[in-house]
Structure 1
Amino acid sequence: MSSLDEGSSDLAHTLELSKQPLQGLKLASHTVLEKAQQRGRSKCVKCGGSRMFFCYTCCLLVDVSLQEIPIVKLPVKIDIIKHPNETDGKSTAVHAKILAPSDITIYMYPSIPEYDQDKVVLVFPGPGAVTVQDMIQCLHERTDSRSRGPWVKRRKIENSPAATHSTENPGSGTSDEIKDCESRVYPLQRVVFIDSTWNQTNKISTDERLQDLLQVELRTRKTCFWRSQKGKPETYLATIEAIYYFLKDFHEQCLTQEYSGEYDNLLFFYSYLHTVVNKSKEAGRKQAQERKKQQETEKRL
């Protein structure tokens, strides 16, 4: 192969990868989903609805066992505030609840818990939003400004990565290392996401119960959701994308640890559906091209 051919091949490979934004993830095998898809839809044991893989209404697996899917442990608790008019079948929030059941809670608006504004952040774009990198420092400054003095006692973050790590791997970290990790994420205890179409988010984001929360924005990420919303920028992410990218940035920028795919399986369902949808679209385009060629041939005859 000539150097020119090699260059063309590399360019083609690069372009192909750019069309596949979910490549390179450390995911559990999709074999269980492939087999379930071949079997077709099944009824949800709770509501009786016809579903594939999971029931998006009941947040339950359908025709797939819990032992066959990955369960992800998160470094911080996450609340999802869901708009009542958001179509269940189009929401990706259920992916998060099924894959990280002990760390994810979904609330249906107008139900919103009472939050401590010094320990909870809202991931939502806005003029006053900060980056994930600046988030912890901003929370510290809030606490400082209210207390007007040094903290008397440092409280542990709920299920902190250090605490989880030390429990699962006894002796793997020193007391000083654990304290250092806790101090890097303190005082963050919970992260809130809004699940709705972008045209519906205003009602929730402007709710007075969320108004005093520090807003965090994911400014550099682009969506690859197959249900793109007309007129909205590529940085407007699907709920599961926003959760995943937040946690990845949090891991690298707040915990200052190298990311090794710890939360990739949050995209277990999303990545598979992304592939299925794209294959279907590609098959549709090819069929359309064949029909067009056939029509042009018939015209010439």
Structure 2
Amino acid sequence: MMSSDKQDTTGNDFLEKLQVSSQVVLETAQKKGRSICPKCNSSRMFYCYTCYVPVESVPTGDIPTVKLPVKIDIIKHPNETDGKSTAAHAKLLAHEDVTVYTYPSIPDYDKQIHEVVLVFPGPNAVSLKDGLQYLPQHKNQKKDFTEPNIKRQRLDRCDNEEKNVTDAAQGMNCLRKVIFIDSTWNQTNKIISDERLQGNPIILLDDYQIHFYPSDRSSQFRVKTL
């Protein structure tokens, strides 16, 4: 969970502002215990983390759906435990806009370089604003692996603040898809270094305060989980 600024707010203050749907449907399902997945017939609690659907004891109509402004691709490491992966939550709530891939089976984003960004808190990541400024420059252009890898270059800041805003706005119009990596930190290197991801700008979402348990003292302003 994220709050929209870097103000020093407590987790309790943030939670009090959330509009949380009724949990009666989940409480009822919990009393019934584990139920069957309607697709694979596996025994699960609440939802099937393999098929990304509610189990039979949870009425589909009682689960809220979310329409996202962009498409989301989640690349999950094969060693990531399905039952602990939060990627399933995104797929459940926004099933039309979220696709989960298990590495190494991922798309080639070569033809989408002008409309896709990768969210990853690496040392060479740029801010969302800078990443959006990059997208319009590569519209209708093809990726060339003989050129320096763009994700390893810090984008130069424009001296003209007005142009910055314009470029970012154009970039937002270009943005069609956001890629996330679902993996433990120690397992990310193989995915992030995959050639199929090398042409996409890597951005860091650090303008939001994180309210995540268990807490991570490394940073309060970086996305820790979906």
TM over 0.5: yes
The one-character-per-residue Cα deviations of 1:141-177 (angstroms, maximum 9, x if unpaired) are 3449x59xxxxxxxxxxxxxxxxxxxxxxxxxxxxxx
Q: Is residue 186 of structure 1 aligned with residue 173 of structure 2?
A: yes
Question: Which residue is 1:132 aligned to?
Answer: 128
Q: Which one of the candidate residues 96, 99, 124 is aligned to 2:90?
A: 96
Paired letter, 2:34 = R
Question: Which residue is 2:46 aligned to?
Answer: 53
Q: Which one of the candidate residues 102, 106, 116 is aligned to 1:108?
A: 102
Question: Which residue is 2:63 aligned to?
Answer: 69
Task: Note if contact 2:77-2:102 (Cα within 8 Å) is conserved in structure 1.
Answer: yes
The higher radius of gyration belongs to 1
Output the CA distance in 1 between the equivalents of 2:127 and 2:11. Answer: 25
1:215 Cα shift?
0.6
SS at match of 1:35: helix
The one-character-per-residue Cα deviations of 1:197-224 (angstroms, maximum 9, x if unpaired) are 1111111111111011101101244544
1:90 Cα shift?
0.8
Q: Is residue 34 of structure 1 aligned with residue 27 of structure 2?
A: yes
1:20 Cα shift?
6.2
TM-score, normalised by the number of residues in structure 2: 0.73
Question: Which residue is 1:237 aligned to?
Answer: 223
Question: Which residue is 1:122 aligned to?
Answer: 118
Task: Note if contact 1:92-1:238 (Cα within 8 Å) is conserved in structure 2.
Answer: no
Structure having the larger proportion of residues in helix: 1
Task: Note if contact 1:77-1:190 (Cα within 8 Å) is conserved in structure 2.
Answer: yes
1:100 Cα shift?
0.5
The one-character-per-residue Cα deviations of 1:40-73 (angstroms, maximum 9, x if unpaired) are 2222233333322101122110121221011110
Paired letter, 2:25 = V
Q: Which one of the candidate residues 182, 186, 194 is aligned to 1:199?
A: 186
The one-character-per-residue Cα deviations of 1:84-110 (angstroms, maximum 9, x if unpaired) are 000011110001111101110111100
State, as a whole percentage, how many aligned pairs show the same letter: 52
Paired letter, 1:195 = D
Q: How does 1:247-286 map to 2 (within 5 A)?
A: none
Task: Note if contact 2:133-2:171 (Cα within 8 Å) is conserved in structure 1.
Answer: no
Q: Give unmatched runs, 5+ long, in structure 1.
A: 1-14, 148-181, 241-301
Paired letter, 1:51 = R
1:127 Cα shift?
2.9
SS at match of 1:122: strand
User: Compared with structure 1, are the counterparts of its residues 16 and 122 closer, same or farther at alpha carbon in structure 2 (3 Å cutoff)?
Assistant: closer
Q: Give unmatched runs, 5+ long, in structure 2.
A: 1-7, 143-168
1:80 Cα shift?
0.5
**Aligned positions, number:** 190
Output the CA distance in 2 between the equivalents of 1:83 and 1:49. Answer: 22
Output the CA distance in 2 between the equivalents of 1:94 and 1:232. Answer: 25
Q: RMSD of the TM alignment (CA)?
A: 2.8
